[in-house]
Amino acid sequence: MAGPASPTPPARDRARIEDANATGRVPAVFVHGLWLLPTSWDRWAALFEEAGFAPVTAGWPDDPETVAEAGAHPEAFARKSVGQVADHFCDLIGGLDRKPVVIGHSFGGLITQIIAGRGLSRASVAIDPAPFRGVLPLPLSSLRAAGAVLGNPANYHRAVPLTYEQFRYAFANAVDEQEARQLYETFAVPAPGRPLFQAAAANVNPWTEVKVDTTAADRGPLLVISGEKDHTVPWAIADASYRKQARNTHAVTEITEIAGRGHSLTIDHGWREVAQTALDFVRRFADPAR
């Protein structure tokens, strides 16, 4: 079941679509997850642009521009659903002149797979992706990481910030204390609670929005990247997602584990290794200049 109709992409996102179209190159669309903003992809966007792609770092509906704005207006994040965000990105991709590669992290990795299942990406990378219906493992570390939201049913309709201690466990467990605090201050913003409740109930709700068409003939190549020390989306979840996707007989499906990395692997000091892994994969299937 699709979520509510997504609004027209804001001027910021429309400008990025227009910029990508103007280059004539293959776009690279980046999809962030909970507790982050599109700016978390800025270094990735620069790397992909240098490699010849046209980066599009779009936001979820109503995303504030900055971390400071997000702290001042947390209500902007409330009530967003997986279906609404997926439809928002699909609408955005519909404005591109060329079929993009899509890279997403955490719930952005789930959205990336939904987009791929709708045949809208030429190659996709899902990094520590949130689980979808049919992915059964539920490790204790994942439950603890989600506890900041799931512990209170009222959070379904709220925007929920993480305390530093919660961020340290869920994101920054594989970096030292100094870097963890820097990441928290630089990147962490409130997030809608609803997607976590949707994911938690996906396997008992036949009408869930948290579902992926894993067998679509036009899904395209897919890489799943897992951080070895991720508490939020540990290997058991990433591998189960990969195994579901690998049943697709029409396209390449691969998985790789990045040693020593936690859920902050896209934003911490080792981001370039992860970005290069993603870039190397999509370049096998997409010439940015053609």
Convert the pLDDT of each residue in 187-201 to its tens digit: 999 999 999 999 999
Mean pLDDT score of the chain, rounded to an integer? 94
Hey, where are the domains in the chain?
Answer: 11-283
Convert the pLDDT of each residue in 16-58 to its tens digit: 999 999 999 999 999 999 999 999 999 999 999 999 999 999 9
pLDDT at 12 over 90: no
Q: Are 241 and 224 in contact (CB under 8 A)?
A: yes
Please, which pLDDT band fits residue 13 given cuts at 50, 70 and 90? confident
The sign one gets for the Cα dihedral 19, 20, 21, 24 is positive
pLDDT of residue 220: 97
Residue 50's contacts (CB-CB under 8 Å, 6 or more residues apart) are: none
pLDDT of residue 9: 57
The continuous run of DSSP H or E covering 133 comes out as: none
Please, which pLDDT band fits residue 287 given cuts at 50, 70 and 90? confident
Please, which pLDDT band fits residue 6 given cuts at 50, 70 and 90? very low
Q: What would the mean pLDDT of 165-191 be, rounded to a whole number?
A: 98
Q: What would the mean pLDDT of 62-82 be, rounded to a whole number?
A: 94
Question: Which of the listed CATH numbers 3.40.50.1820, 3.60.90.10, 3.90.110.10, 3.40.50.720 matches domain 11-283?
Answer: 3.40.50.1820
